[in-house]
Homo-oligomer: A and B are copies of this chain.
Amino acid sequence: MRMTDVLETRALDAAMGAARVAVAARIEEALAQYSGNIAEAMRYATAGGKGLRGFLVLESARILGVSDGAVGPAAAIECLHAYSLVHDDLPCMDDDDLRRGQPTVHRKWDEAAAVLAGDALQALAFELVAGADMSAEAKVALSLGLARASGVAGMVGGQALDIAAETADRPLTLDEITDLQAGKTGALITWSATAGAVMAGQDPAPLRAYGDALGLAFQIADDILDVEGDAATVGKAVGKDAGRGKATFVSLLGLDGAKRRAGDLVQEACDALDIYGDKADVLKQAARFVIARQS
């Protein structure tokens, strides 16, 4: 590793670590007065992740000079993401026992607690946006974007396509799987990356181009990890997609093709941020991290 790479990685690690700490504190503050198994499951479900989405919110806000107040939306997107994982893991969905190296919520508690904790985490996400310290206009724009990115037009719609693909009579095409990803994971990543511009009332186009490319690269990297990773490092079951004969970016592009495509997307993501000069270095490094990660 070159010295500049080492320094860049350290800057990214520091920024992501600081984001995780700030987000965790905000979520804990919001849940502090609640006890019982649902509140416990909500804390459990929001712990232990990489915090990429919350980091994107905070970092895009920093670049646009609106860091104050950004921790609310950063915590919101992590709650939203956590809810989606809790529901995706349910027996009637992906039926996973392991998440981030720990038992999934329905395994640690039960299915009813998992449904309810997920539901309450979604509500908490919108509470954190509405309660954030910024103009009402910015909060409405963030809330509207979050609702669209997570609903039938976004994450839920993508998840439904994913489920439908499992029983379809043919594997998905590259266009179809790209659409599916854009909804399932892309929309919330783009929401996170553009949050700073939305808060600042600035043109979100450069951050949207970054977020769209980053989201797709992220999913391709996930598919590569499903082939190359090991469960202990990844923190969840691997090799599931190939085992199911499901189309993935790797099955459609080949392993080398998928890696090339992910690399091109990361370059595209970085280029989109040139307008922000070296203020965007950490976001660019985050894009490179997404395809280099082992989990």
Contact = CB atoms under 8 A, between A and B. Distances in A.
Interface string A126-138: 1101110001110
A42 interface: yes
A122 B119 contact: yes
Contacts of A127: 144, 147-148, 151
Given A144-B127, A152-B124, A160 B119 contact: no
A113 B87 CA distance: 12
B152 A42 contact: yes
Contact of A115 (B37, B90, B151): B90
B160 A36 contact: yes
A146 interface: yes
Contacts of A18: none
Contacts of A93: 112, 115
A156 B38 CA distance: 8
Contacts of A37: 160, 164
A92 B120 contact: no
A31 to B, nearest CB: 7
A188 B92 CA distance: 28
Contacts of A160: 36-38, 113, 116
23 contacts: A34-B152, A37-B160, A39-B152, A42-B152, A87-B116, A87-B119, A90-B115, A92-B112, A93-B115, A116-B156, A119-B122, A119-B150, A120-B151, A120-B157, A123-B148, A123-B151, A123-B156, A124-B147, A126-B143, A126-B146, A127-B148, A130-B143, A136-B136
Interface of A: 31, 34, 36-39, 42, 83, 87, 90, 92-93, 110-113, 115-116, 118-120, 122-124, 126-127, 129-131, 135-137, 139-140, 143-144, 146-148, 150-153, 156-157, 159-160, 163-164
